[in-house]
Structure 1
Amino acid sequence: MASGPIIVQDFEQYLKTKSSEPWWQYFRSGADSEQTLADNALAFQRYRLRPRYLRDVSQRDLSISLLGHRLQLPIGVCPSSSHGMVHPEAEIATAKGVASVGSAMGLSMWSNKPLEDIAAAVAPETPLFQQLNVFCDRTSMDRLTSHAEWLVKRTERAGFKGIVLTVDQPVTGNGVERRRTGPAVEPLDLTFPQFVVPGGSYLDSEDRMTLDPSLTWDDLEWLRDLTSLPIVLKGILTAEDASEAVKRGVSAIWVSNHGGRQLDGAPATIDALPEVVNAVRGSNVEVYLDGGVRKGTDVLKALALGARAVFIGRPALWGLAYDGEAGVRKVLEILREELSRAMALTGCSSIADITPDLIKMPSQ
């Protein structure tokens, strides 16, 4: 009998038993009736695999290139807030776990450790990307003092590899279950260093804490003026927006519905992926996916449908709660092993072999 977790969902059960109800709902729940939250995972079952046999799969290469950076596997960790709620080393432990398997990580601006400390904790070649929301301070005060510019400049100095602009949250979604259970009681020493400045904090003003609902495509030029780092748009779900993103010169599109936490009724990300991939075809824009990834076959299906890489959110937090850095590493190792096995069972010896003909679409 195995004494530890065997599949990713085993880590989820550990966090559930460890957490109070408000904490558990904070990490588990979605928006409104949670249709999108549930469908993110269920939708993968609608896509069947078409294996090819009598191919040499004795050696399998899972490495990819992501914005010019070499990863040892196509599975990273996406931005999620407040890792300090489940482990004292917070995002530092998460980043170390990611780096130990040669992958990439997006850092939430609501992280509990300074981005400089996180960057210093991993090798310089580890691709770290800073997630960015834009607040109303961008228009209510001089842009030179806005939180966005200040954070972007810190990101550049720390050696991060790109900016991930969240576009699917002009306002905050209706987290019904989180409202029912009440706010998660955070540790007394939990801080948000990406908002702290000498002598104060960007959290001390209402306009600095209100998401900017006036953000438009034209504001990408404003962001581009702030940085030479690659810009990734996170939250794209349609061909129309993907085409516009290509025209605006972004480096990558991240297919995401915010883990089902914003617009309930939005499509599952695996369902949205094909039209986004088709819309960027012929460009150099890379496509990533998060949402509902729980198994190696989920990863395989997303890659076959055109994703360059997939990212996990909740599973990384489950692993962090279970055993810190080692827990995050274990989650990624399980997914890596499952992906490698699925590749062998479908006749793929490299990521390049994972092509659309491996998938039987739901409509077929």
Structure 2
Amino acid sequence: MSRPSAPANPRIPPGVVAPTDYEALARERLDPAAWAYFSGGAADELTLRRNRAAWEAWSLQPRVLRQLAGGHTRVELLGRTLAHPLLLAPIAYQRLAHADGEIGSACAAAAQEAGIVLSVQASTRMEDVARAVQPEAGRGPLWLQLYLQPDRGHTLELLRRAEAAGYEAIVLTVDAPTSGARDRERRAGYRLPPGIAAVNLAGMPQPAAVASVPGGSALFDGLLHAAPTWDDVAWLRSQTALPLLLKGVLHPDDARQAAALGVAGLVVSNHGGRTLDTAVSTAWALPRIREAVGDALPLLVDGGIRRGTDVLKAIALGARAVLVGRPYIHALAVAGALGVAHVLRLLRDELEIAMALTGCATLAEVTPELLVREMPGA
């Protein structure tokens, strides 16, 4: 598998007018194995498809003749006023998509006043990404996504580096104690090419092998000995003054337990359909999580967000903000940082249009009453 280089004169391709237009172009540009990694899901990819279908299942019931002058998309999140509720989701190995990589995505987000959640498995050092965007006035939040390492000392090392580099929150992924059965990746022969690696984890050992008893399980007797628990979440929260969010919560009981531990927020996520296939869609889970924890705990959501109307629906169902994933990595593959900025601009413009056409001048006016299900059984 080869890694693409940056074009000499990056530009938006003719005819790209919607966030979804980049997908087909990215498929043409990316190596088949890289395409499988970025766009595939687990097993039969049912959850991957249902994420999208669940947003489409909601219809909007607009109000008319409302006062809209002076409206805006601003939202409060973790003590900051954001220009709009769009953040880039954590995606690993972005230099596999384009030479601009994570720095390109972060700079694009800063230019569009969007936040970014940097993957700890980034192909660029977290310090370099932070230095690239911190001077930007008006940029959105800079957060680090983290997997708990088998050794707490290594987790602390990553945490202290994030604090020193100026990251403003930690997003702990909790739904992937093991990888999903990613059939598409295996069929494509996915592997990282030379020069692409999880550079922030350099020098950190993998979980030590545990000998299994005859007839035992390599997974349960091996890797899962290092799987995180609620005790680890409580420990991590005690180690930093940074806000701690949990990413990968789908069950109301888990949301209540997280709230009881004092986390700063939750990301309702099924890992983009990449871990447990047939898991519930995030659009289905979101209102149930909101009902479980109330309004005090901010919720974010990812999975299947493709258009500004999806963002509007997410806000109506209880999210404070959304994480955009595959649309921006497709744009990165096609046009580098410029493409990422373009996708964010399109989504923000579409959100404003959707707000205006449903009679909502601000996101505070976006309520569940905007949503209906027209199709039987939807």
TM-score, normalized by length of structure 2? Answer: 0.88
Q: Partner residue of 2:148? A: 134
Q: CA deviation at 1:361?
A: 4.4
User: Is residue 231 of structure 1 aligned with residue 238 of structure 2?
Assistant: no
Q: Is the 8 A contact 1:103 1:127 kept in 2?
A: yes
Listed as ranges, the matches of 1:42-61 within 5 Å are 42-61=53-72
User: Is residue 194 of structure 1 aligned with residue 200 of structure 2?
Assistant: yes
CA distance in 2, matches of 1:287, 1:185: 33
Aligned residue among 324, 347, 372 for 1:335: 347
Q: Is the 8 A contact 1:83 1:317 kept in 2?
A: yes
User: Is residue 207 of structure 1 aligned with residue 214 of structure 2?
Assistant: no
Q: CA deviation at 1:71?
A: 1.5
Q: Partner residue of 2:6? A: none
Q: Partner residue of 2:36? A: 25
Q: How many positions carry a matched residue from both structures?
A: 349
1:60-118 per-residue CA deviation (whole Å, 9 max, x = no partner) reads: 30111211122211111011101000111210000001111111111101101111111
Aligned residue among 240, 262, 278 for 2:291: 278
Amino acid aligned to 2:179: T
* Gap change, CA 1:319 and 1:356, over 3 Å in 2: same
Q: Is the 8 A contact 1:30 1:261 kept in 2?
A: yes
CA distance in 1, matches of 2:365, 2:265: 22
Q: Is the 8 A contact 2:29 2:334 kept in 1?
A: no
TM-score, normalized by length of structure 1? Answer: 0.91
Q: Is the 8 A contact 2:126 2:200 kept in 1?
A: yes
Q: CA deviation at 1:58?
A: 3.6
Q: Is the 8 A contact 1:133 1:211 kept in 2?
A: no
1:312-356 per-residue CA deviation (whole Å, 9 max, x = no partner) reads: 111111111122211111000111111111111100111111111
CA distance in 2, matches of 1:163, 1:293: 22
User: Is residue 254 of structure 1 aligned with residue 267 of structure 2?
Assistant: yes
User: Is residue 157 of structure 1 aligned with residue 164 of structure 2?
Assistant: yes
Q: Partner residue of 1:354? A: 366
CA distance in 2, matches of 1:227, 1:235: 21
CA distance in 2, matches of 1:22, 1:164: 28
Listed as ranges, the matches of 1:112-131 within 5 Å are 112-123=123-134, 126-131=140-145
Amino acid aligned to 2:334: Y
CA distance in 2, matches of 1:25, 1:269: 22
CA distance in 2, matches of 1:194, 1:241: 29
Seq. identity, %: 40
Q: Is the 8 A contact 1:170 1:212 kept in 2?
A: no
CA distance in 2, matches of 1:211, 1:7: 42
CA distance in 2, matches of 1:210, 1:158: 30
Q: Is the 8 A contact 2:307 2:347 kept in 1?
A: yes
Amino acid aligned to 2:208: D
Partner SS state of residue 278, structure 2: coil
User: Is residue 101 of structure 1 aligned with residue 108 of structure 2?
Assistant: no
* Gap change, CA 1:12 and 1:229, over 3 Å in 2: same
Q: CA deviation at 1:3?
A: 2.0
Unaligned runs of 5+ in 2: 1-12, 210-221
Amino acid aligned to 1:180: R
Partner SS state of residue 230, structure 2: coil
CA distance in 2, matches of 1:205, 1:354: 45
Q: Is the 8 A contact 1:78 1:313 kept in 2?
A: yes
* Gap change, CA 1:281 and 1:205, over 3 Å in 2: closer
1:161-183 per-residue CA deviation (whole Å, 9 max, x = no partner) reads: 11101010111110011111112
CA distance in 2, matches of 1:121, 1:85: 19
1:250-288 per-residue CA deviation (whole Å, 9 max, x = no partner) reads: 000100000000000111101100000111115x21000
Q: Is the 8 A contact 2:170 2:242 kept in 1?
A: yes
1:220-262 per-residue CA deviation (whole Å, 9 max, x = no partner) reads: 2210222111000000001111111111100001000000000
Aligned residue among 293, 300, 303 for 1:288: 300
CA distance in 2, matches of 1:320, 1:60: 31
Q: Is the 8 A contact 1:110 1:192 kept in 2?
A: yes
1:130-151 per-residue CA deviation (whole Å, 9 max, x = no partner) reads: 1111232x2xxxx3xx321110
CA distance in 2, matches of 1:90, 1:190: 10
What RMSD over aligned residues (CA atoms) do the two structures have, in Å?
Answer: 1.9
Amino acid aligned to 2:143: F
Partner SS state of residue 121, structure 1: helix
Q: Partner residue of 1:269? A: 282
Amino acid aligned to 1:134: L
Amino acid aligned to 1:80: I
Q: Is the 8 A contact 1:235 1:256 kept in 2?
A: yes
1:201-227 per-residue CA deviation (whole Å, 9 max, x = no partner) reads: 11x544399576542112222102221
Question: More deviation in 271-280 or 214-223?
Answer: 214-223
